C-alpha cells in the first residue's frame, strides 16, 4: 500500500528532530542546553491555569461551537481591534487548536494547483510545506540581513505576478526576529492593494518585540478585507501545550475555515477556550515581565555571540530567536549545528532548515535561562577555539 502522492509534498519541522536527538544524548548521560525549540520557558500565568481548572470543575468538558465560543470570539475581536487599530467583530474570528491550523486551513481553502504564493525565506517551514501540499507554487523571497532580516522591497515587487494568490508576511519573524517597519509595511500594502490576492499575516509574536512595535498590514487602507491575521495564545501567554490560536479574516473565509474545522477537529477544547477568555481579558503583567526578561537575554546572548570568532549576530527586534551568520567560522551551517549538538551539547537549528536562504546561519532560541545562555556561549567558544576541530563544509 502506497501513501497518497500528496504526502511527498508535505514537509516537517527540523526543530522537533533536533529535540529528539538531544533527548537521546541526554538519556546517555550527556548535558545538553536546549536552544532548539521555539517556546517560552515560562509557566502559563497562574490566573489562566486557575480559569482552566475551574472550567473543568464547572463541566466545560463537552463539544463547543466549531467556530469557537461567541464570548471568546468577542474578546478576540476586541483585542485585535484595539491592538491593530482596526474594527473587526466576532463574525470575523475562527478559534482553532493552535496557530498552525490557521496556516493549514487558509492555504487549503485558497490555493489551487499552480497558484503562486510568496513567502519569506528563511521562514517558518510550515508555510512552504503547506503551499506544496496544496499544489501551489512556492515563491520564496529572501530576507536581507543588512535590512534587519526584512524583504528587499524591489525583490518583493518583482516576485508578484498575475498568478500570485497569496502573500505571506510574518512580523516579528521566526527564525530571524526581524520586524517589518511601518514604512515598509505601507509600501507592501501599496504594492498589493489593487491586486487580486490575499495577504496572510502571521502575527504570532505580536506582543514579543523590543524596539519598534510591529504593525499589522490589516490596518492600512483597503487591506482589512484582503488580510488573514494569525495570532494565538502559544507565545504571548506561554501556552504552547494548550493548543489555542485564532484567525481574523473576512466572513467568506471564516465560513470555509469552519468547514475545514468541522471536518478535522469539530471544535477547540472547551475548557481551553474558557481559559483563553481570561487570558485576553485579564492582566498582561506576566507577558510584560516575560518580554523584559527576553530583552535582557537577547542583549547578553547577542553580545556573547558577536564575541565568537566567525559569528555575526544582528540584534533581533522581536520574537525570541537569535540568527547569527556563521559563515566566518569556515563551517557549513548544518555541519556546525550538528557538531555543536554532538560535541558541545548545544541544541540549535541549521538556518537552511528554514529555507535555502537560511544557509550560513544558525537559529538559537533564547527561551532558556540567562545562566544557560551564558554557559552556551562559553561552550561554543571552547568548541570553536579547540584547534583539533577542523571546519567541515
Neighbours of 3 (CB within 10 A): 8
214 touches ligand PLP (CB under 6 A): no
By the rule CB under 6 A, 355 interacts with ligand PLP: no
How far CA 330 is from CA of 352, 362, 393, in Å, comes to 16, 13, 7
Minimum gap (Å) between residue 273 Cβ and ligand PLP:
14
Is residue 99 part of the contact set for ligand PLP (CB under 6 A)? Answer: yes
Specify the residue, 297 or 345, whose C-beta has the smaller distance to ligand PLP: 297
Q: Please select the residue that binds ligand PLP; options are 36, 128, 145, 202, rule is CB under 6 A.
A: 202
**Binding-site member from 14, 33, 38, 95 for ligand PLP (CB under 6 A):** 38
Q: Is 227 in the site for ligand PLP (CB under 6 A)?
A: no
**Residue 386 burial by CB count (10 A; 0-12/13-18/19+): exposed, middle or buried?**
exposed
Q: Which residue in 326, 352, 342 sits closest to 14, CA to CA?
A: 352
Is 108 or 339 the residue whose CB approaches ligand PLP more closely? 108
Does 210 bind ligand PLP (CB under 6 A)? Our answer is: no
Q: Are 323 and 313 in contact (CB under 8 A)?
A: yes
Is residue 204 a contact residue for ligand PLP (CB under 6 A)?
yes
- Cβ proximity to ligand PLP: between 202 and 207 the closer is 202
Shortest Å distance, C-beta 176 to ligand PLP: 11
Min. distance of Cβ 344 from ligand PLP in angstroms? Answer: 25
CB of 97: closest distance to ligand PLP in angstroms?
8
Work out whether 324 is an interface residue with ligand PLP (CB under 6 A).
Answer: no
**Smallest separation, CB 114 to ligand PLP (Å):** 25
| Residue 333 in grid coordinates | 551551517
- Binding residue for ligand PLP (CB under 6 A) from 234, 268, 272, 273? 234
For the bound state, the minimum distance from the C-beta of residue 123 to ligand PLP, rounded and expressed in Å, comes to: 8
Q: Where are the alpha helices (DSSP H) in 33-173?
A: 46-57, 70-84, 100-110, 125-133, 153-159
Q: Looking at beta carbons only, is 234 or 333 nearer to ligand PLP?
A: 234
In the chain, helix, strand, coil percent, each to 5? 45, 15, 40
Give me the residue label for grid cell 481548572. 53
d(CA 214, CA 204): 11
107 contacts ligand PLP (rule: CB under 6 A)? no
CB of 308 vs ligand PLP, minimal distance in Å: 25
Stretch that binds ligand PLP, among 93-101, 248-256, 293-301, 344-352 (CB under 6 A): 93-101
Tell me the window of 95-103, 138-146, 153-161, 360-368 that interacts with ligand PLP (CB under 6 A).
Answer: 95-103
- Residue 362 · residue 326 · CB < 8 Å: yes
Sign of the C-alpha dihedral, residues 243, 99, 39, 127?
positive
170 binds ligand PLP (CB under 6 A): yes
- When asked if residue 207 is in the footprint of ligand PLP (CB under 6 A), the reply is no
Least distance from ligand PLP to the Cβ atom of residue 234, Å: 3
Contact 99, 232 (CB under 8 A): yes
Evaluate whether 325 touches 360 at the Cβ level (below 8 Å): yes
In whole angstroms, give the CA distance from residue 36 to residue 44: 20
CB 281 within 8 A of CB 47: no
Count of positions on this chain that bind ligand PLP (CB under 6 A): 13
Contact characters 243-262, ligand PLP, x per CB under 6 A: --x-----------------
Site membership for ligand PLP, residue 125 (CB under 6 A): no
Closest to 142 measured CA to CA, from 133, 134, 153, 151: 151
- Look at residues 212, 202, 201, 207 and name the one whose alpha carbon lies nearest to residue 179: 212
Our CB check for ligand PLP shows the closer of 177 and 332 to be 177
Pairing between β-strand 93-96 and β-strand 245-248 as defined by DSSP bridges:
antiparallel
**Mapping DSSP to helix (H, G, I), strand (E, B) and coil, where does residue 376 land?**
helix
User: Judged by CB, which is closer to ligand PLP: 86, or 349?
Assistant: 349
Residues in touch with ligand PLP (CB under 6 A): 38, 98-100, 124, 170, 174, 202, 204, 232, 234, 240, 245
Amino acid at each position: 500500500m502506497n501513501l497518497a502522492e500528496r504526502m511527498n509534498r508535505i514537509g516537517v519541522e527540523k526543530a522537533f528532530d533536533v529535540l529528539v536527538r538531544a533527548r537521546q544524548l541526554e538519556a546517555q548521560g550527556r548535558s545538553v542546553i536546549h536552544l532548539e525549540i521555539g517556546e517560552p520557558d515560562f509557566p502559563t500565568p497562574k490566573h489562566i491555569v486557575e480559569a482552566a481548572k475551574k472550567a473543568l470543575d464547572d463541566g466545560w468538558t463537552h463539544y463547543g461551537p466549531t467556530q469557537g465560543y461567541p464570548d471568546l470570539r468577542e474578546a478576540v475581536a476586541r483585542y485585535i481591534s484595539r491592538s491593530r487599530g482596526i474594527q473587526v467583530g466576532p463574525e470575523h474570528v475562527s478559534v482553532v487548536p493552535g496557530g498552525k491550523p490557521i496556516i493549514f486551513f487558509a492555504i487549503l481553502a485558497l490555493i489551487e494547483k499552480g497558484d503562486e504564493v510568496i513567502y519569506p525565506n528563511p521562514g517558518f517551514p510550515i508555510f512552504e510545506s503547506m503551499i506544496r501540499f496544496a499544489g501551489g507554487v512556492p515563491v520564496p523571497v529572501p530576507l536581507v540581513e543588512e535590512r534587519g532580516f526584512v524583504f528587499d522591497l524591489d525583490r518583493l515587487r518583482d516576485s508578484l505576478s498575475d498568478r500570485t494568490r497569496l502573500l505571506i508576511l510574518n512580523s516579528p519573524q521566526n527564525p530571524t526576529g526581524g520586524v517589518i517597519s511601518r514604512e515598509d509595511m505601507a509600501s507592501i500594502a501599496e504594492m498589493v492593494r489593487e491586486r487580486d490576492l490575499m495577504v496572510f499575516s502571521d502575527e504570532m509574536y505580536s506582543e514579543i518585540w523590543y524596539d519598534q512595535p510591529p504593525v499589522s498590514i490589516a490596518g492600512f487602507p483597503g487591506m482589512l478585507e484582503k488580510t488573514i491575521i494569525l495570532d494565538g495564545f502559544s507565545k504571548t501567554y506561554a501556552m504552547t501545550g494548550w493548543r489555542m490560536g485564532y484567525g481574523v479574516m473576512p466572513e467568506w473565509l471564516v465560513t470555509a475555515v469552519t468547514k475545514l474545522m468541522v471536518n478535522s477537529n469539530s471544535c477547540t477544547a472547551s475548557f481551553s477556550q474558557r481559559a483563553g477568555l481570561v487570558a485576553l481579558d485579564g492582566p498582561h503583567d506576566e507577558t510584560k515581565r516575560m518580554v523584559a526578561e527576553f530583552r535582557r537575554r537577547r542583549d547578553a546572548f547577542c553580545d556573547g555571540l558577536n564575541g565568537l570568532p566567525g559569528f555575526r549576530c544582528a540584534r533581533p527586534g522581536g520574537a525570541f530567536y537569535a540568527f547569527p551568520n556563521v559563515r566566518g567560522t569556515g563551517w557549513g551551517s548544518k555541519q556546525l549545528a550538528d557538531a555543536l549538538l554532538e560535541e558541545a551539547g548545544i541544541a540549535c537549528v541549521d538556518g537552511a532548515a528554514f529555507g535555502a536562504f537560511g544557509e550560513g546561519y544558525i537559529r538559537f532560541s533564547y527561551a532558556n535561562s540567562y545562566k544557560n545562555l551564558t554557559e552556551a556561549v562559553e561552550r561554543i567558544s571552547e568548541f570553536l577555539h579547540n584547534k583539533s576541530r577542523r571546519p567541515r563544509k
